Structure 1
Amino acid sequence: MAEKTNSKAAERHLEVEVKLAVDEHTGVPDLTQLPGVASMLGTEQHDLSAIYYDTADLRLTREKITLRRRTGGADDGWHMKLPTAGGRKELRVPIEDPAKVPEELLNEVRAIVRNEPLEPIAQVDNRRVESKLAAEQGEAIAEFCDDHVTAWSLLPGGERTSWREWEVELAEAIAGTEDGDDLIRQATSFLIASGARKSSSPSKLATALGETVQTAPLPPHLQSQGLDEDSPAAAVVDALRAQRDEIVAWEPRVRADEWDSVHQLRVATREMRSLLETFEGILEGDQLEELERELKQTAAVLGEARDAEVVEERFAELLDTDESGLIDDTARAHVEQDMRKDYEAAHAEIVEMLNSDRFMDMLDDIDHLLANPPVAASDDDSESDEGGTESKVSEKESRAIMLEHLEKAYKKVIKRDKKVDEFYHDTDLPLHEREEYVHDVRKAVKKLRYATAAAQSAGIKTGRLSKAAKAMQEVLGDFQDAVTSRDRILRLSGEARERGEDTFSYGILYQRELARGDAALAGYDEAMRNLKKAFKKVKS
């Protein structure tokens, strides 16, 4: 059954199917010979016509996403298909305005298409003979389609194409199951034995477009930068591109409020900003500073929801594991509910940010940077320019440059660690001031870990260092989560006091988080020793 969360949401389906090419005069075999297929529930003929949409540089097509407006058949409407594990996710929205792509679908790909107009790129007409296949109990388990297709590419040089294909699509009841996978495999073998063959094209759209795809320009982030592949700049750009792809991939999942999506999008934005800061001097220019500011602002908006999410989870654990029996019902209700309200408000602000021109401009700036990396001129190459042209860099030189930047990031960790050693146990200082020194180490360790990926691209073996930095991050992350939770408990306590409520329960929770923070820091010294050892291995 299709999932439909509300009247404004698109219907969501998991599509699992196989398409096979077949000659015009090949007869359809007896499909009840398929294992698991006991009968045919009926056969219908439909005349379908679909207009496919994309940007001028085919951003959706290149991401294996299709968007079409189809008429005819039982499911006419706007359809979007997105790749997912085990098949494709299909979203459907009724046609209200045939000239306007529905917002429900646009939101799924806004980070990809941005403000670029979506235009017709192909028309696919299909005379479909559709048969439903049933199991022994009589329930439909799949659909067999005998398609006679005529298509036109609307790109420059496009032509009319005609072909025939067979398609078997699983019913949603078994899509994504072992039984469904078995049926698809058996159907594929059976239909090939009956005269079909594996198609050389993944979809009707791909067949319709054919070679005309080559006439479309590349999106900015896929354009060649002309960098020496062994250069430090190429390593940094590759690392930045990986984070760009993470941002684009997580953005629709944040909109849908999927689990852990806010955290992952925040990590990607922070990692990109950290890479720009850590490898300053390999890439340079005013545009980097502006992009860093925008990434920082984006991470800050995401951080409000992420902190509320983390605290809500910690509060639930605190309440579930409470053995004192002293948490009163009023305090328990606020602890359970108030952070959810905070999260929902913060998530609404995130969606507003994602819809803003400012966020779209930031994504465009990232793509422009990848297409035209502002490579810093070396001492012997004053011709380096925004287009990414640079002198040939040897692998040895590249390794030395990247190691220098990696060492700078490591030295920041050591410098901040010394302050922790000097000040954290000084009880004459306010607690939050002492904890801020620990938080500074956490931020430096993050930057060091993020830098290891780019350094590895330059031939530096950073696997052990990355693992040690991750372990250190986990220690410091657990500690910081306890600090954040304590801050929220203090706020809840203050609000309870203003309402005239007993605040004793909040004191119990605060003390437990204080103890949990101390327990997290028990692993600090060992994690720091391992980090130092790992960096020495990189240097050797």
Structure 2
Amino acid sequence: MADTVREIERKYEAGGRTAAARLPDLSRAAGVAAVAEKGTAELDAVYYDTADRRLAAAGITLRRRTGGTDAGWHLKLPAAPQGARDEIRAPLSASVPRALADLVRCRVRHAELAPLVRIVTRREARHLLDADGALLAEVSADTVTADRLGRGGRSAHWREYEVELGPGAEPAFLDTLEPRLREAGLRRSAAPSKLARALAETEPETEPETEPGTKPAADAGTGEPRKSRRRPAKKRGTAEAPAPVTAGEHVLAYVRAQAEALLALDPAVRRDLPDSVHQMRVATRRLRSAFRTYRGVLDPAVTGPVGAELRWLAAELGVDRDREVLAERLRERLAELDRALVLGPVRARLRRWAAARGKGSRKRLAALLDGERYLALLDTLDALLADPPLLPAAARPAPAVLAKAVVRDYGRLATRVERALATEPGPARDTVLHDARKAAKRARYAAEAATPALGRPAARLSGRMKAVQTLLGDHQDSVMARGALRSLAAEAHAAGESTFTLGLLYGREEQRADRDERELPKVWAKASGTRWKAKLGA
């Protein structure tokens, strides 16, 4: 069984000749009541990754460590706030535990996880405690030896200092310690982790390229063939990318961000973290919206099939999510009623209804994310970004191209809202309003994607479209709630139970839908001002 620990830490290195050789004295730092010496430990860790370092590129580390108080397998995933990581632990075993391998499957896919680097750390540690004896932070001085495993691997040695926040301590405590660490001659480490530094400093030696039939140049001092050392490779994903200029660069930057969000949310969905399924669906929707909105930039003959697969994924993710949201809405509405109006076992029936629809959902989602169709979709997205199907408009300056696409999606929404307002109340209007909601979402995402190029006017439009989408989304939720209440009432009636409360809830949902429909003209009037078109340059 894997355990999870939230890790928030900062790493430091010597900043000059005056830097402390040992841990600095932090006993007088604000909030520190006592300092406990924890002695010295030797930690021996082997880090695993694919041959092309897919985990390192995503800021993920997987290691098997012995020594210390937390020996075992550790998987570290980036987490919020920025700089934090979730460390997921599993007991020692000979091979990578299945629970951890599953969490990185979306990155690894069919590649092999193999030992990459061995890092041995001699750690001297102290605990900073508050007046109640609670741990504020562990401060350690680490003497590190890193060895690249495999042919041609090199070794590296360094000393670093680490401050890891204690459980329950406020992140601001790290800022409290910062001035005292600087006074001791320490500065923030340039490497985000030991693994990142090890990879940079232990690159295998490579022979220089020579013409066929020639020998490498001899070293002037030894007469032996001269070896060339390849410069340490920069960690993928850390280099500053040039700012997008063309329409194609802007659209690809947005698509790349959403594809990365999809990958980052995969382990969160597997861990059943709050709102993770919803956010993963949002990433798929944003990708599909970008493909459809910017079809003049990216060839729809290529993106169309990818969009169809994203639609499939969103639908699969939504099976349990939609039911969960609907059940929560009905529970909230039931809780609003006076107890005297709750007749019969309504709460028990709602619990059974919700449980029946959520049964096995985690297993179903895990099977979905392990499935070949999903993994093939991820491969397809990688291929699309590696060799994007750019059309001639992609080379043009971004503002004109993106503004035209945004205006087109806005016009699509305007047509649907006007059609909805002209439709008589009832099922037909419900359908048209649902179509308008989807158009509002697409217009919102179109403006959102264009904001880096078009600035504030696009950002404001995105906010206005979100307001329309929210109103229409509440209306659609009411439609779905009424359908569920009808089914629950039929079941209750067949069981000889009172249906009074379910009918009352149905009536209240009708009132909410009617209120939303009456609010729509006002919300639309506020959102549909066209001065933003001139500001966009459209």
Say whether the fold is shared (TM-score over 0.5): yes
Which of the numbers 507, 510, 513 marks the counterpart of 2:506?
510
Letter in 2 for 1:168: V
1:455 Cα deviation from its structure 2 partner = 3.3
Matches within 5 A, 1:39-188: 39=34, 41-84=36-79, 85=81, 87-97=84-94, 100-135=95-130, 140-154=135-149, 158-174=153-169, 177=170, 181-182=172-173, 184-185=174-175, 187-188=177-178
C-alpha distance in structure 2 between counterparts of 1:509 and 1:124, whole Å: 62
Cα deviation for residue 212 of structure 1 reads 5.7
> Which of residues 486, 501, 508 in structure 1 aligns to 2:482?
486
Sort the Cα spacing of 1:423 and 1:82 in 2 relative to 1 into closer, same or farther, 3 A.
same
Judged with a 3 Å threshold, the aligned counterparts in structure 2 of structure 1 residues 494 and 457 are, in CA distance, closer, same or farther, namely same
Q: Distance in 2 between matches of 1:156 and 1:405?
A: 52
- Residue 346 of structure 2 aligns to which amino acid in structure 1? A
Corresponding letter in the other structure for 1:365: T
Equivalent residue for 2:7? 14
Counterpart amino acid of residue 158 in structure 2: W
1:170-208 Cα distance to aligned partner (Å, 9 max, x none): 43253xx26xx43x4454444444454543333222221
1:71, distance to aligned residue in structure 2 (A): 1.2
Q: 1:130, CA displacement in angstroms?
A: 3.4
Contact preservation (8 Å) 2:399, 2:537: no
Q: Please, what TM-score do these two structures have when normalized by structure 2? A: 0.83
- Matched with 2:262 is 247
Q: Distance in 2 between matches of 1:202 and 1:163?
A: 14
1:17 and 1:402 map into 2 onto residues whose CA distance is: 41
2:330 aligned residue: 315
What pairs with 1:456-495 in structure 2 (closer than 5 Å)?
A: 456-459=451-454, 461-495=457-491
Match for 1:445: what amino acid? Answer: A
Q: Give 2:252's match in structure 1, choosing from 233, 237, 259.
A: 237
Give the stretch that moved more between structures: 156-165 or 304-313.
156-165
Is the partner of 2:340 in helix, strand or coil?
coil
> Residues 459 and 539 (structure 1 numbering): CA distance in 2 closer, same or farther, change over 3 Å?
closer
Over 3 Å counting, the alpha-carbon distance change for 1:279 and 1:94 in structure 2 is same
Secondary structure in structure 1 of the residue aligned to 2:528: helix
Q: Is the 8 A contact 2:4 2:86 kept in 1?
A: no
Determine if contact 1:452/1:465 at 8 Å carries over to the other structure. yes
> 1:111, CA displacement in angstroms?
2.8
Q: Which residue of 1 aligns with 2:199?
A: 209
- Root-mean-square deviation (CA, aligned residues, Å) is 3.3
Unpaired stretches in structure 2, ≥5 consecutive residues: 204-230
Offset at 1:29? 5.4
Deviates more, 1:475-484 or 1:362-371: 362-371
- 1:386 maps to none
Distance 2:251 2:178 in 1: 44
- In structure 1, what is the equivalent of residue 221 of structure 2? none
Sort the Cα spacing of 1:69 and 1:511 in 2 relative to 1 into closer, same or farther, 3 A: same
Matches within 5 A, 1:427-446: 431-446=426-441
Q: Tell me the residue number matched to 1:417.
A: 417
Distance 2:416 2:30 in 1: 66
Q: Secondary structure at the match of 1:68?
A: strand
> How many angstroms does 1:263 deviate by?
1.7
Matched, 1:349 2:364: yes
CA gap 1:38/1:237 in 2 versus in 1, 3 angstroms: closer
Partner of 1:297: 312
1:469–1:44: structure 2 CA closer, same or farther, 3 Å change rule? same
Q: Work out the percentage of aligned pairs sharing the same amino acid.
A: 35
2:7 and 2:85 in contact (8 A); partners too = yes
